C-alpha cells in the first residue's frame, strides 16, 4: 500500500486540494441569512479556510512535481498557518452563538494559541516547520473540533429572527454529517508530513497513520472535505424547502396576501399567494379572468387615482411604497387595507414587475381613530390643566425626573418646559436634598398614605423662594410607568396675611383697652362704609357677556325709580328701564343709546340722558376683562349731573355778564359788536353805539364808599334796562361806563333812546347819610359805518362823543362830531397817552415797595411792588398810578406797563436771592394776552428764579367779569409755578362760589372793609366771613389798609394771616433794610 501511495501521491494531493477548494466555494456561495441554518452567517470563515487549504494542497502537488524547492516548502508552511486561522474563527463564532462565555473571547483564544505556536517555533530547529506544526495542533485541530461540537449541539435560532422551531428542523442527518466530517478532520489534522528536528520524535506523522490504517491521511482528509461539501449543499437545499413551506404556512395565517404584478392600471397579476379570498371574497383563480376582478378593479373607485399616483411616484424615485386605501369586497363592502411593496428591476434598471403584500387594515384604521380621539382628549385635558391657576407637576417614580408640567408651573417657577424636564423635584426644593426627598415620598409608594398635603418652598429660576401648598399622590396607570402627581398652590400671600394677623393679634394682646378701642373704630369705619355705599350718587349696573344684569347698586334704583321688590338680576339689560317710572324727554333718541353699545371691547362714548322732569344723567360704560383677556361683561355708570349742568350754565352766565349789575360784560359786548359789524357789512345796514358814564360817580364812591357806588350802578343799570328793546344790547364795560348797541330804523331813534336814558338816570332819587343826591349821565353816540367801520374806531369815537357831551354841561347826549375832536379833554387824554409812551421809552417808570407782614410774629412775609411814573415835564414830580393807570387801561398801554413791571421785579428777585417773594399786580386786560404766562416763564428761567418767589395779583372784579379768560390765564400761570393772589377780595361779587373755579392761593381783602374796622360791625362780620371762606378753601388771607394797632390786633384775633398798611410800612423806592 505504501508503494501505491507513493506512486499516486500527486493524485492524492490533487483530490485533496480540489475537495477543499470546492468546500470553500460552496460555503462562499451559500446564503448568509437563512434562519434554518443557525451557522449560516459565519460560513464566510469556512469558505476562507476551504479555499486557502485547497490552494495549500495544490502547492504541495506542485512541490512534488518540481522537487523540494525551499520557496515552495516555505510557502506551503505559511499557507498552512494562515488557512487554519479562519477555521479556528469559524469554530469559535459557532460555539460563541451557543455559549457566550469569557473563555471564547478572541483575545484569550488567540493569545493562548499564539503562545503555544510560538513555543513550538522556538523548540524547532526549522522555525517555519515549527510554525506549521503549531498551526496543526493549536489552530486547526481546536477550530475543527469547536465547529463540530457547535454544529452537533446547535439548538439556538438565528438572533435576528424569532423561530424556535428552526433549530429542531435544521438537525437532520446532514448537519450530523457536517459535524462528523469536521470532527474526523479535526482528529486527522495532527498527523504531520514529517517531524521537525528539535520537536518530540513521538509526534504522529502521515506515515504512522498509513502504517496503522493502510490508508493515506491526505485521502481521508479529502473524504472529510467532500462529505462536508455534500452535507452543506444538502442542508441549503433542505433549508430552502423548509423556508418555502414556512412562507406558505405563514401566508395562510395572515389577513392578506402577497403578489407580483405588472405596472399597468389594472395591476395585472403575475403571482398571488395568501388569504386573498378571506380578505376580498374573491378566490385566487378569479384574478385570472380580468372580466371577474383585477387588482385595479378591487381598489375602491375613490382611491384608484391616489393609489396609482403614489405608486408611480415611488417607482420614479426608486423607493418602496406604503399606503392605505379601501378595496371593494365581493359583496360590495368597502374595507381598509395596508399595502407595502416595491419595484423589481433588471440589471439595466428596467422595471420587471411590482411585488409586495396587502393586509387587512380595518382594525388598524379603527385603532388609529381611537388613538386620535384619545390624543384629542389628552390634549383637551392638558389644556384644562394649563388653564387652572394651580401648578401641576408629574415626575417619574424611579428617576424623579419631571415628565409633565402645566403652564401654571412654568409661570410659577420661571423655567421653560424644556428646562424643567431636565430637573427633579429636589432641584427646586432647597430644604429637601435627594435622599431626604426619597424617604419623604416613600410612604406613598408603600401605600401607607394615599396622598400627602404639605407646605414647602420652591426656588424659582431667578433665585426667589415661593411658599407653596403641595398635594402629592402616587399614580400607577395600566401599561405606564408609575409616577407622582403634584399640585401646588402659591400661598405666599396667605402666609403674609397669616403673619400680619399674628402680629396684629400680638399687638391686640398687649392692651385690652387698646383692643376695645380698635374694635370700636373698626365698627365705626364699617358703619361709615355702609353709609357711603348706601349714599352713593353714582348708579352702577354690571351686565354679563349675554347682556343680562348681574348687579345693580341702590343709587341706580333711586336714579331710575325702580323699586326694591323688582328683581333685576338675570334680566336682559335692555328691559331694565321698563320697570322705571321716569319718562325720557326724548324717548326715540335715548332708546338707541341707553344700555346699548356696539359689540366692541372699547369704552363707550359719554351720552347724556334728558329726563322729563328736567334732570340730566350721563351714561358711560367700560368693558370688564379677566387677566387672561376674555371679556367678562360691561360696567354701566350713571351720574346725575343736573347740578353740575346748572353750575356750568351759571359759570357761562358769569363769564358773559357783569357780576354786579347782571348786564353783559366788556368781553360779551365786544363779541356782539364784532358780530354786528360783520352782519352790517354783509347786509349793508347801520347801527348805533351809545357810550355813557355817570357824572360825578367818583365823588359818590370816594365820599360814601363802594357800597353806595355799587347801589348807584345797580339802580342806574335797572332803569336803563327797562328802556332797551329786546333786540338791543346793553352792557357794563367797567367802573361806571356803559354801552348800548341799537339798530337804526330811523335816524332819530338813537338820539331818542339817549334822551330817555338821560332822563331816566336823572330821575333816580338817592339819599346817602342824610344827603339827597341827583345822578346824571353823559352819553356819546357813534353810527356805523359813518363814524367808524371797525371796533376800535367806533368805540373811540363813541367815547369821544361822550366827552363832547360832558363838555356841553353833562346830563345830556352828543352825536360824534369830528370837528370837535380837539377839545381840552381830548387833548388832556391824548397828552396822558403820549406821556405814558414817553415814560415807557425813556424808562421813567419806577418801582416802589411796601412790605407785607405776618400777623402771628410780625416778621416780613414778602414785598408788594407799586409802579410810579416820573413826570417827563418835571423830573422831580412823581405821578401816582391813579392818574395814569386808568388811561393806560383804556388805551391798551397797560399791557406794556405790566411787562415792564414783571421784567424789573424778576430781575430784583435774581439780584436779591434772600428776598422771599415779590407780589406784582396784573391788569385784567392781560387776560386777553395768551402769551403773557409763557413770557413770565421765560423770564424766570432766564434769571434762574424759583417760580414760587413771584406772586401775581389779579383784581377780583376783573377776574369775575372775565371768568373764562381768567380761568385760562390762571391755569397757564399755574404751569409756570407762580403763586396767584386775588386783590380787592369782596369788593365786587355777591357770592364766593366762584372761588371754586379760580385756582388762587392768596386772598387780599379789599381795604374798604378794613378802614374803620374796630368801629364798623358790618365790616367786622364781612371780614370774619371772608376769613372763614378762605380757611375752608385752604387759602391765605392778606388785609390791606391797616393803619393802626387796634385794627391789626383785631385782624390777628380774626385769624388773618398777613397784613399791609401804613401802620406797618409805607411805600418806598428802596427795598426793606434787611435786603439792602
CATH number for 811: 3.30.70.270
Residue 653, in any domain of the structure: no
Alpha-carbon Rg for the chain, nearest whole angstrom, is 62
SS3 call for 214: coil
pLDDT of residue 1052: 94
Q: Which of 619, 620, 616, 609 is nearest to 646 (CA)?
A: 616
Pairing type for strands 777-784 and 813-815 reads parallel
The predicted structure's pLDDT at residue 646: 76
- For residue 164, name the pLDDT band (cuts at 50, 70, 90): very low
pLDDT tier at 243 (50, 70, 90 boundaries)?
low
Do residue 855 and residue 906 come from a single domain?
A: yes
Percentage of the chain with pLDDT > 70? 88
Q: Indicate whether 270 belongs to any domain.
A: yes
Q: What value does the mean pLDDT take over residues 942-957?
A: 89
pLDDT band at 5 (very low <50, low <70, confident <90, very high): low
The total domain count for the chain is 6
Query: Using CA atoms, how far apart are residues 670 and 965, in angstroms rounded to an integer?
Result: 14
Most confident of 63-67, 241-245, 1052-1056: 1052-1056
The domain boundary residue, chosen from 367, 399, 433: 367
Beta pairing, strands 918-922 & 860-870 = parallel
Distance CA 393, CA 409 (A): 7
Q: What whole-number distance in Å separates Cα of residue 659 and Cα of residue 1046?
A: 33
* β-strand partners of 483: 396, 475
Q: What is the mean pLDDT of residues 53-62?
A: 78
Do 298 and 320 meet the contact criterion of CB atoms below 8 Å apart? no
Q: How far apart are CA 864 and CA 917, in angstroms?
A: 9
CA distance 611 to 593: 14
Please check whether residues 594 and 631 belong to one and the same domain.
yes
CATH of residue 27's domain is: 1.20.1070
The answer for residues whose C-beta is within 8 angstroms of residue 1009's C-beta and 6 or more apart is 986, 1019, 1022, 1023, 1026
Least confident of 39-48, 241-250, 737-746, 946-955: 241-250
Q: Does residue 570 share a domain with residue 482?
A: no
Q: Per-residue confidence at 69, pLDDT binned at 50, 70, 90?
A: low
Residues 25 and 46 sit within 8 Å (Cβ to Cβ): no
From 884, 785, 897, select the one nearest 832 (Cα to Cα): 884
Indicate whether 908 and 1014 sit together in one domain: yes
Quote the CA–CA distance of 227 and 221 in Å, as a whole number: 10
Range 872-898 average pLDDT: 82
Are residues 756 and 628 both part of a single domain?
no
Q: Please give the pLDDT value at position 851.
A: 94
Categorize the per-residue pLDDT at 252 as very low, low, confident or very high, splitting at 50, 70 and 90.
low
Average pLDDT over residues 231-254: 64
| Structure confidence by residue, pLDDT tens digits, 1016-1031 | 888 898 899 889 888 9
Beta bridge partners of 734: 737
Looking at the structure, tell me whether residues 887 and 1032 fall in a common domain.
yes
Q: Is residue 275 a contact partner of residue 251, using CB atoms and an 8 Å limit?
A: yes
Considering the domain architecture, whether residues 429 and 544 belong to the same structural domain is answered as no
What pLDDT is attached to residue 988? 52
pTM of whole model > 0.75? no
Give the 3-state DSSP-derived string for 378-390, with helices as H, strands as E and coil as C. HHHHHHHHHHCCC
In this predicted structure, the answer to whether residue 294 has a pLDDT above a threshold of 80 is yes
Strand pairing of 391-396 and 351-360?
unpaired
Query: Is residue 384's pLDDT more than 80?
Result: no
pLDDT band at 31 (very low <50, low <70, confident <90, very high): low
Going from the C-alpha of 1000 to that of each of 305, 795, 924, 930, the distances in angstroms are 90, 33, 15, 18
Domain end: 244, 274, 309, which one? 244
State whether 566 and 610 are in the same domain.
yes
**Which candidate, 667, 600, 564, 546, places its Cα nearest to that of 925?**
667
549 lies in the same domain as 634 = yes
Same structural domain, 602 and 663: no
Q: What is the mean pLDDT of residues 314-320?
A: 92
Looking at the chain, how many residues does it have? 1076
The string of DSSP codes covering 431-499 is T--HHHHHHHHHHHHTTS-SEEEEEEEEE-TTS-EEEEEEEEEEE--TTS--EEEEEEEE-HHHHHHHH
Over residues 666-681, mean pLDDT: 90
Highest mean pLDDT among 393-402, 739-748, 848-857: 848-857
Identify the pLDDT of residue 127.
83
Other Cβ atoms closer than 10 A to 222:
22
Same domain, 754 and 806: yes
Residue 728 has pLDDT above 80, yes or no: yes
CB-based contact 1009:1029 (threshold 8 Å): no
Which stretches of 809-955 are DSSP H helices? 824-841, 881-891, 894-911, 932-943
Q: Indicate whether 817 belongs to any domain.
A: yes
Residue 373 maps to a domain: no
Q: Give me the pLDDT at residue 428, please.
A: 87
Does the pLDDT value for residue 159 go beyond 50? no
Spatial contact of 668 and 731, defined as CB atoms under 8 Å apart: yes
| Per-residue model confidence (pLDDT) at position 146 | 85
Whether pLDDT at 914 is above 80: yes
Last residue of a domain, one of 447, 470, 496: 496
Give me the CATH number covering residue 631.
3.30.450.20
Could you give the CA distance from residue 832 to residue 838 in angstroms, rounded to a whole number?
10
pLDDT tier, 1 (very low <50, low <70, confident <90, very high otherwise): very low
The residue with greater pLDDT, 585 or 493, is 493
Question: Does residue 263 form part of some domain?
Answer: yes
Could you give the percent of the chain with pLDDT greater than 90?
23
Full residue range of the structural domain in which residue 145 is found: 2-244
In a domain, 702, yes or no: yes
Q: Do 257 and 248 contact (CB within 8 A), yes or no?
A: no
Give yes or no: residues 803 and 886 share one domain.
no
Angle between helices 9-29 and 43-66 (to 10 degrees): 160
Task: Phi first, then psi: give them for residue 685, nearest 5 degrees.
Answer: -115, 180
Distance CA 976, CA 100 (A): 99
Output the CA angle 938-943-947, nearest 5 degrees: 65
Q: On the CB side of 23, how many CA atoms lie within 13 Å of its CA? A: 30
3-class DSSP assignment, residue 83 = helix
Q: Tell me: pLDDT of 246 over 70.
A: no
* Mean pLDDT over each residue of the chain, to the nearest integer: 82
Q: Examine the pLDDT at 168 and tell me if it is beyond 50.
A: no
**Per-residue pLDDT tens digits for 772-824:** 778 899 999 999 999 998 888 898 899 889 988 988 888 899 999 888 754 44
Q: Give, rounded to a whole angstrom, the gap between the first and last alpha carbons of the chain.
A: 158
Quote the pLDDT of residue 850: 94
Range with lowest mean pLDDT among 400-404, 874-878, 1039-1043: 874-878
Is 910 among the domain residues?
A: yes
Using pLDDT thresholds of 50, 70 and 90, give the confidence band for residue 1042.
very high
Contacts of residue 429, defined as CB under 8 A and 6 or more positions apart, other chains included, come to: 437, 456, 457, 458, 459
Name the 3-class secondary structure at 364. helix
> Tens digit of pLDDT for each residue in 433-456?
888 888 888 888 888 888 888 888
Mean pLDDT comparison of 267-281, 307-321, 463-477, highest-scoring range: 307-321
Q: Is 826 among the domain residues?
A: no
Q: Pick the residue with more confidence: 967 or 553?
A: 553
For residue 219, count other CB atoms closer than 10 A to its CB. Answer: 18
Burial class (CB in 10 A: 0-12, 13-18, 19+), 1010: buried
Amino acid at each position: 500500500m505504501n508503494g501505491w501511495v507513493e506512486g499516486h501521491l500527486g493524485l492524492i494531493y490533487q483530490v485533496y486540494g480540489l475537495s477543499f477548494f470546492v468546500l470553500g466555494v460552496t460555503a462562499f456561495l451559500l446564503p448568509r441569512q437563512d434562519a434554518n441554518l443557525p451557522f449560516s452567517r459565519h460560513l464566510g470563515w469556512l469558505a476562507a479556510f476551504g479555499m486557502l487549504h485547497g490552494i495549500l494542497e495544490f502547492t504541495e502537488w506542485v512541490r512534488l512535481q518540481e522537487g523540494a524547492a525551499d520557496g515552495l516548502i516555505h510557502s506551503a508552511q505559511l499557507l498552512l498557518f494562515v488557512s487554519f486561522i479562519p477555521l479556528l474563527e469559524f469554530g469559535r463564532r459557532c460555539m460563541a452563538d451557543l455559549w457566550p462565555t469569557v473563555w471564547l473571547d478572541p483575545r484569550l483564544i488567540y493569545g493562548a494559541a499564539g503562545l503555544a505556536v510560538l513555543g513550538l517555533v522556538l523548540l524547532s530547529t526549522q522555525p517555519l516547520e515549527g510554525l506549521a506544526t503549531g498551526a496543526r495542533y493549536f489552530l486547526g485541530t481546536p477550530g475543527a473540533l469547536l465547529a463540530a461540537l457547535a454544529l452537533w449541539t446547535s439548538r439556538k435560532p438565528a438572533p435576528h429572527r424569532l423561530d424556535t422551531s428552526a433549530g429542531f428542523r435544521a438537525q437532520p442527518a446532514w448537519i450530523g454529517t457536517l459535524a462528523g466530517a469536521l470532527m474526523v478532520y479535526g482528529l486527522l489534522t495532527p498527523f504531520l508530513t514529517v517531524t521537525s528536528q528539535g520537536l518530540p520524535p513521538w509526534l504522529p506523522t502521515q506515515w504512522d497513520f498509513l502504517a496503522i490504517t493502510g490508508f493515506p491521511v491526505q485521502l481521508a482528509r479529502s473524504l472529510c472535505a467532500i462529505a462536508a461539501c455534500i452535507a452543506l449543499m444538502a442542508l441549503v437545499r433542505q433549508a430552502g424547502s423548509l423556508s418555502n413551506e414556512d412562507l406558505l404556512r405563514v401566508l395562510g395565517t395572515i389577513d392578506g396576501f402577497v403578489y407580483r404584478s405588472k405596472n399597468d392600471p389594472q395591476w395585472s397579476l403575475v403571482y398571488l399567494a395568501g388569504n386573498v379570498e378571506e380578505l376580498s371574497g374573491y378566490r385566487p383563480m378569479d384574478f385570472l379572468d380580468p372580466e371577474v376582478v383585477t387588482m385595479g378593479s378591487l381598489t375602491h373607485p375613490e382611491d384608484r387615482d391616489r393609489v396609482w399616483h403614489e405608486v408611480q411616484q415611488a417607482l420614479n424615485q426608486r423607493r418602496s411604497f406604503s399606503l392605505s386605501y379601501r378595496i371593494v369586497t365581493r359583496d360590495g363592502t368597502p374595507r381598509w387595507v395596508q399595502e407595502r411593496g416595491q419595484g423589481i428591476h433588471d440589471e439595466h434598471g428596467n422595471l420587471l414587475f411590482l411585488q409586495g403584500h396587502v393586509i387587512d387594515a380595518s382594525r388598524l384604521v379603527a385603532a388609529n381613530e381611537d388613538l386620535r380621539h384619545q390624543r384629542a382628549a389628552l390634549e383637551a385635558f392638558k389644556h384644562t390643566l394649563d388653564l387652572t391657576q394651580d401648578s401641576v407637576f408629574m415626575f417619574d417614580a424611579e428617576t424623579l425626573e419631571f415628565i409633565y408640567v402645566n403652564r401654571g408651573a412654568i409661570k410659577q417657577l420661571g423655567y421653560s418646559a424644556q428646562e424643567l424636564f431636565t430637573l427633579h423635584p429636589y432641584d427646586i426644593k432647597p430644604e429637601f436634598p435627594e435622599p431626604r426627598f426619597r424617604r419623604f415620598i416613600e410612604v406613598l409608594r408603600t401605600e401607607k398614605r394615599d396622598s400627602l398635603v404639605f407646605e414647602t418652598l420652591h426656588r424659582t429660576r431667578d433665585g426667589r423662594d415661593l411658599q407653596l401648598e403641595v398635594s402629592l399622590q402616587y399614580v400607577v396607570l395600566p401599561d405606564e410607568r408609575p409616577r407622582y402627581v403634584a399640585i401646588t398652590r402659591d400661598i405666599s400671600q396667605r402666609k403674609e396675611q397669616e403673619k400680619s394677623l399674628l402680629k396684629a393679634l400680638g399687638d391686640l394682646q398687649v392692651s385690652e383697652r387698646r383692643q376695645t378701642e380698635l374694635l370700636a373704630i373698626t365698627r365705626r369705619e364699617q358703619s361709615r362704609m355702609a353709609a357711603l355705599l348706601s349714599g352713593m350718587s353714582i348708579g352702577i349696573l354690571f351686565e354679563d357677556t349675554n347682556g343680562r344684569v348681574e348687579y345693580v347698586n341702590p343709587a341706580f334704583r333711586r336714579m331710575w325709580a325702580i323699586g326694591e321688590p323688582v328683581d333685576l338680576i338675570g334680566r336682559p339689560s335692555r328691559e331694565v328701564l321698563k320697570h322705571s317710572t321716569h319718562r325720557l324727554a326724548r324717548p326715540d333718541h335715548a332708546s338707541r343709546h341707553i344700555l346699548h353699545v356696539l359689540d366692541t371691547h372699547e369704552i363707550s362714548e359719554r351720552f347724556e340722558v334728558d329726563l322729563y322732569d328736567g334732570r340730566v344723567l350721563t351714561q358711560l360704560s367700560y368693558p370688564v376683562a379677566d387677566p387672561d383677556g376674555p371679556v367678562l361683561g360691561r360696567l354701566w355708570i350713571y351720574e346725575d349731573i343736573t347740578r353740575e349742568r346748572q353750575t356750568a350754565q351759571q359759570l357761562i352766565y358769569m363769564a358773559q355778564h357783569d357780576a354786579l349789575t347782571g348786564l353783559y360784560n366788556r368781553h360779551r359786548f365786544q363779541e356782539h359788536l364784532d358780530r354786528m359789524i360783520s352782519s352790517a357789512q354783509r347786509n349793508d345796514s347801520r347801527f348805533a353805539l351809545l357810550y355813557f358814564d355817570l357824572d360825578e360817580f367818583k365823588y359818590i364812591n370816594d365820599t360814601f364808599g363802594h357800597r353806595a357806588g355799587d347801589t348807584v350802578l345797580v339802580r342806574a343799570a335797572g332803569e336803563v334796562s327797562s328802556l332797551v328793546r329786546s333786540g338791543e344790547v346793553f352792557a357794563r364795560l367797567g367802573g361806571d361806563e356803559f354801552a348800548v348797541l341799537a339798530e337804526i330804523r330811523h335816524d332819530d331813534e338813537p338820539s331818542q333812546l339817549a334822551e330817555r336814558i338821560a332822563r331816566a338816570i336823572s330821575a333816580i332819587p338817592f339819599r346817602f347819610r342824610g344827603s339827597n343826591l341827583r345822578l346824571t349821565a353823559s352819553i356819546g353816540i357813534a353810527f356805523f359805518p359813518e363814524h367808524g367801520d371797525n371796533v376800535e374806531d367806533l368805540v373811540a369815537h363813541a367815547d369821544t362823543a361822550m366827552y363832547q357831551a360832558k363838555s356841553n354841561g353833562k346830563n345830556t347826549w352828543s352825536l360824534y362830531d369830528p370837528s370837535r375832536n380837539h377839545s381840552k379833554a381830548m387833548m388832556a387824554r391824548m397828552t396822558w397817552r403820549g406821556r405814558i409812551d414817553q415814560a415807557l421809552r425813556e424808562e421813567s417808570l419806577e418801582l416802589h415797595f411796601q412790605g407785607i407782614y405776618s400777623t402771628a410774629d410780625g416778621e416780613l412775609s414778602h414785598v408788594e411792588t407799586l409802579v410810579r411814573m416820573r413826570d417827563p415835564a418835571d423830573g422831580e414830580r412823581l405821578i401816582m398810578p391813579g392818574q395814569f393807570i386808568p388811561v393806560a387801561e383804556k388805551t391798551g398801554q397797560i399791557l406794556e406797563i405790566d411787562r415792564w413791571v414783571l421784567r424789573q421785579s424778576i430781575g430784583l428777585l435774581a439780584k436779591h436771592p434772600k428776598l422771599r417773594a415779590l407780589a406784582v399786580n396784573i391788569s385784567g386786560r392781560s387776560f386777553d394776552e395768551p402769551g403773557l404766562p409763557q413770557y413770565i416763564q421765560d423770564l424766570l428761567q432766564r434769571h434762574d428764579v424759583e417760580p414760587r418767589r413771584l406772586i401775581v395779583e389779579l383784581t377780583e372784579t376783573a377776574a369775575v367779569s372775565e371768568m373764562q379768560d381768567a380761568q385760562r390765564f390762571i391755569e397757564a400761570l399755574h404751569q409756570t409755578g407762580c403763586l396767584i393772589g386775588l386783590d380787592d377780595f369782596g369788593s365786587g361779587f355777591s357770592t364766593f362760589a366762584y372761588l371754586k373755579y379760580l385756582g388762587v392761593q392768596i386772598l387780599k381783602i379789599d381795604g374798604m372793609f378794613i378802614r374803620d374796622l374796630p368801629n364798623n360791625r358790618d365790616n367786622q362780620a364781612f371780614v370774619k366771613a371772608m376769613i372763614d371762606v378762605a380757611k375752608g378753601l385752604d387759602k391765605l388771607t392778606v388785609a390791606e389798609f391797616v393803619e393802626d394797632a387796634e385794627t391789626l390786633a383785631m385782624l390777628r384775633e380774626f385769624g388773618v394771616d398777613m397784613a399791609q398798611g401804613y401802620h406797618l410800612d409805607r411805600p418806598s423806592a428802596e427795598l426793606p433794610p434787611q435786603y439792602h
